[in-house]
Structure 1
Amino acid sequence: MTDAVVWHRADLRTVDNAALAAASDADRVAPAFVVDPVYYGDDGLACDARLRFLHECLADLRGQYRDLGSDLALLSGDPHERVPELLDRGFAVYVNRDVTARRGLARDEALLDREGVQVFDDDGIRRPGQRHRDGTVAVDTRATRAGEGWDDHCEAYFEREPHARPDGLGPNPVDSEVTIEEVEARHDVAPEKRGVPAGGTMAGNERLSAFVDRLTDYPRVVSPPAAAEDRSSRLSPYLTFGALSHRQVYQRVQSAPESRGREMYTSRLFWNRHYHQKLADWPGWTERAVNPVFRGLFRDEHDEDLDAAWREGRTGFPMVDAAMRALTETGYVNFRMRALAATFYVYVLKQWWRRGADFVYEHLVDADPAINYTQWQSQCNLTGVHPVRVYDPEKQLREYDPDGAFVREYVPELAPLPDEHLPAPAETPVGVQRECGVDVGEDYPYPVVDYDHEAERARERYAALADRAREALSDPRVRRRGSFSNRGRDRADDGGEDGGQTSLDDF
């Protein structure tokens, strides 16, 4: 008799699941998820809203398995111990590979090569085995192989037929050890964020269908933060947890009539795979600067007061403050505001990037290391190849929130100010402040720094390091870490006026 455990991680679905499709031929199939307590602690960098979204995905997945005559077993503990126990009990373990870093990478390196573990790589990512000692992939994953470039390889993944859900499964031979309710009570999961989408494949499919129906609106709503919050896809958490596969979303989007919106969102899906490829090529993206010349930049200039002002949304720059408050209150902020927050933290406040990147990662419901950390490094030019573009908060507000809808929602103390004074409240005439009932300096802080001065200082600091950074890039390992490319679908990569993202407006 063949017994197979399907070990779910970031693939919380039964459709288009390679590991499940292969395991369904076994005599007995045991779908399982290991609840690792480490991710619930202070070092887990996961807000309660993200944990609740995960739990909703697990509840939905359990329902999918019950419809098939089975169930989802929830195990508790360290996977380093629990997976070997399953192997010792005679189960084969079927698992889909993920692009991981930090603890997840250490877990996979310890477990996925064990005898009895069968790993599936059907996600559009190239994973050559040759690596340097520092973890950098030793071959060019972007190189054309047998006539197939990276974009062709990724497109082939998107276009292949999804794996079918099994017609039925027998009872799960592995019992659950804990319930979702017990996990939430044990770890005191009590989300306070508002407006968080419901987790699970059913909710994801409903959101996907609604988005495809309004796909033509996508170009108009993706950059303005208020419009993005209400009318962009908001599919990223479902992709992060694998409630939907990237291929499912791609093929559903392709079924819509041709439009600029369809083209832009398709590009976004390639962009997602592109940055997962970067993390697969070098897991160090989450830990240290790609270019060694920038390692430790601003680490010794840490200012607790400036850092707290940024985190709490009280820098005196309304667009930055609205973005940070939106992040902490809802777990979501659109790509443009994430870029603004990152560049302001590093270039303007002169703070070490890791502290800021970890804070944003903790609060995002859709937190994905392959997106968050690569984007922080790219936007803040820790690669040594991107331009130093210091986002101007006033300009961003005038262009992307001209009616002040976003700022007034998240910085309500400024709501009475006329539109023309929202970009720079400190410059509002005293008479206008008195008439509106807004006292800048009391109700809302003055700017914590002089933006123009600090932006120029940042340009000078980077210019002084530019020659050394270019020299460092002559090392093939440093160059390869970033998987730098501007071919084909990789239009969301290096170059361009938007802080290194040629298609920033697309996302």
Structure 2
Amino acid sequence: MRRYIADPILASRAVMLQVVWFKRDLRIADHAPLARAAAAGPVLPIYIVEPTLWQQPDASGRHWAFIRESLIELRAALANLGQPLVIRRGEAVAVFEALRTKRGAFALWSHQETGNDWSYGRDLAVGAWAREQGIAWTEIAQQGVIRRLGSREGWARRWDQMMSADCAEAPVSLRSLDVDPGPMPPQQLPWLAPDDCPGRQRGGRSEAQRTLHSFLTERGGHYHRELSSPLTAAESCSRLSPHLAWGTLSIRETAQAAVTQLRMLDAEPIDRQASWKRALRAFIARLHWHCHFIQKLESEPRLEFTNTHPAYDGLRENEFDEARFAAWCEGRTGLPFVDACMKSLIATGWINFRMRAMLCAVASYHLWLHWPQPALHLARLFTDYEPGIHYPQMQMHSGVTGINTIRIYNPVKQGLDHDPDGIFIRRWLPELEKVPAVLIHTPWRMDERQQAETGVRLGRDYPLPIVDPIEAAREARDRVWAVRDGAEFDRQAEVIQQRHGSRKAGLPPTTRPRKKVAQAQLGLAFEDPADDPPDNPANGRA
């Protein structure tokens, strides 16, 4: 918890206005700032539509659409308590200063936020303003992320303690204030391009609760077996990720609901218990990884922009191919499973974790694209965009952390493994509808007769591959592994491991022979005896 107080005595005087600043926490349940502010005095709940925030390169219309739906429900929930949500447009410091000028000093409450670099700078500016004006600003942690963390030792235990703590109770009522709540902003903000996403999940607390309930009681029984394939993941995964990202659910109430459901399974028939218990334990573990990744960006904000391990600086930056990047962004690489995944993501705002990892790997290895630009493109597409998870995972899948294994997904093999009959491919690439299963993953192998029979003219109806996936992977592997040669690389990797490594999963020592490390090292979040790491949707993407 961080507190900016110019004069502690001033903050303890007569009851004053308590301003609760909602950001990525669009709910009243388990909302500690709201609960504590309501106990201290009259509450003014506020959400600020910040123009500069929505002009950032990681912002998109689908993000705003989800938030707006959530704001409508949040305003109604607060109105039911007695004081509706106040919405203002402008930069945060200017909005708060206008409020102070009109109503005098107030206490400011919010949750801590691990956002992007812009939001970090915004919070620093608000903190400086608060100190200058004698405004007490109390920030309270809402996830298992620890500000100014000195060491990762004991981090998992502290996460467990926070998740086990009682959820903050919503106020019974709020005093009505004579403040114009302001209009609900329009569906299309002026700073954002149109963003049609017909399959996007809807925002709002009620939708979050329905999604959580259906996962824990109906959809989630085969979660651990069905989260890898895009054919089954959309139904079997929790689909809670956007609600966790924008805070219509807290991670604590989600974890506690899962634990409660797990305990209730003891009363179920034995044949139902086994699958459900394994599924829920896997889900709870992934909630842990949710915060594990956000902690990385909280501890080292530069990870939004620069390689974790500096030895990789300059590896790809000067070879960025704009044509390849555009083909990847638009789903026209000529690699059907890759293109189908991208088309699905564009249309729905979500795809399962393994496919996210594959999209990142293909961009970074096969197409040799430096990760920041692909990261921004995916950030705009993911309805569940969470900066603290997004950037560390982009680096992990791009092989620039120095402590994770180089995992180059074969896009053809991934398709054969997870969409063997090409059902998913045909759904999102209808131009390949008539291509038989034996060729659906490698249509470039069709001869002229087969092209005529299927109505697919390669290079016209569907592109030829922009790279040879086998040769491109081989070249990328050699180039990336070559960087890891030398004692200095190992020394810096050990520093990174000490700062960001999970003490729960661990890593083989960096001093082990490289060939053995390459075989054994499965990465911070992926300690598993299988050939591939378990899908690890750290953002609740499971």
User: Offset at 1:174?
Assistant: 3.6
CA contact under 8 A between 1:389 and 1:498: conserved in structure 2?
no
Bigger shift: 166-175 or 64-73?
166-175
The 2-side partners of 1:408 and 1:455 are apart by 25
2:483 aligns to what SS in structure 1? helix
The 2-side partners of 1:232 and 1:478 are apart by 32
Give the percent of matched residue pairs that are identical in Structure 1 and Structure 2.
30
Q: 2:325 aligns with which of 307, 312, 319?
A: 307
The 2-side partners of 1:327 and 1:422 are apart by 20
CA contact under 8 A between 1:317 and 1:393: conserved in structure 2?
yes
The 2-side partners of 1:248 and 1:188 are apart by 33
1:240 corresponds to which letter in structure 2?
A: A
Pairs within 5 Å for 1:309-388: 309-388=327-406
CA contact under 8 A between 2:506 and 2:524: conserved in structure 1?
no
Q: 1:22 aligns with which of 21, 36, 57?
A: 36
1:458 corresponds to which letter in structure 2?
A: A
2:20 corresponds to which letter in structure 1?
A: V
Q: 1:108 aligns with which of 119, 123, 129?
A: 123
Pair 1:125 & 2:150 matched:
no
User: Offset at 1:492?
Assistant: 7.6
The 1-side partners of 2:241 and 2:470 are apart by 34
Q: 1:391: which partner in 2?
A: 409
The 1-side partners of 2:483 and 2:141 are apart by 40
Distance 1:478 1:80, change over 3 A: farther
2:207 aligns to what SS in structure 1? helix
Give a deviation string over 1:130-187, Cα, whole Å, max 9, x none. xxxxxxx6x31x11xxxxx211111111111100010011114443344223x73645
Pairs within 5 Å for 1:62-461: 62-88=75-101, 89-112=104-127, 114=131, 115-128=135-148, 139-140=150-151, 142-143=152-153, 149-181=154-186, 184=188, 186-187=190-191, 190-213=194-217, 214-256=219-261, 257=265, 259-461=277-479
User: CA RMSD, aligned part only?
Assistant: 2.4
Q: TM-score scaled to structure 2, two decimals?
A: 0.85
Give a deviation string over 1:72-102, Cα, whole Å, max 9, x none. 0001111132234444531111111111231
Distance 1:36 1:157, change over 3 A: same
The 1-side partners of 2:108 and 2:347 are apart by 39
The 1-side partners of 2:250 and 2:236 are apart by 21
Distance 1:499 1:196, change over 3 A: farther
1:493 corresponds to which letter in structure 2?
A: L
CA contact under 8 A between 1:291 and 1:382: conserved in structure 2?
yes
CA contact under 8 A between 2:375 and 2:394: conserved in structure 1?
yes
The 2-side partners of 1:500 and 1:24 are apart by 52
Pair 1:487 & 2:504 matched:
yes
Pair 1:47 & 2:47 matched:
no
Q: 1:4: which partner in 2?
A: 18
User: Offset at 1:61?
Assistant: 0.3
Q: TM-score scaled to structure 1, two decimals?
A: 0.91
1:223 corresponds to which letter in structure 2?
A: S
1:71 corresponds to which letter in structure 2?
A: P
CA contact under 8 A between 2:54 and 2:192: conserved in structure 1?
no
CA contact under 8 A between 1:38 and 1:44: conserved in structure 2?
no
Distance 1:459 1:125, change over 3 A: same
1:238 corresponds to which letter in structure 2?
A: H
The 1-side partners of 2:323 and 2:47 are apart by 41
The 1-side partners of 2:78 and 2:216 are apart by 27
User: Offset at 1:344?
Assistant: 0.6
User: Offset at 1:10?
Assistant: 0.8
Distance 1:480 1:174, change over 3 A: farther
Bigger shift: 223-232 or 484-493?
484-493
**Structure 2 gap ranges (5+):** 1-14, 266-275, 508-521
Distance 1:360 1:332, change over 3 A: same
CA contact under 8 A between 2:82 and 2:174: conserved in structure 1?
yes
Give a deviation string over 1:459-489, Cα, whole Å, max 9, x none. 11112211258536437754455x1124169
Distance 1:319 1:498, change over 3 A: farther
Distance 1:126 1:286, change over 3 A: same
2:108 corresponds to which letter in structure 1?
A: V
1:58 corresponds to which letter in structure 2?
A: L
CA contact under 8 A between 2:26 and 2:247: conserved in structure 1?
yes
CA contact under 8 A between 1:73 and 1:176: conserved in structure 2?
yes
Q: 1:133: which partner in 2?
A: none
The 1-side partners of 2:178 and 2:487 are apart by 56
Distance 1:447 1:470, change over 3 A: farther
User: Offset at 1:450?
Assistant: 1.3
The 2-side partners of 1:44 and 1:172 are apart by 37
User: Offset at 1:234?
Assistant: 1.1
User: Offset at 1:499?
Assistant: 12
The 2-side partners of 1:156 and 1:116 are apart by 27
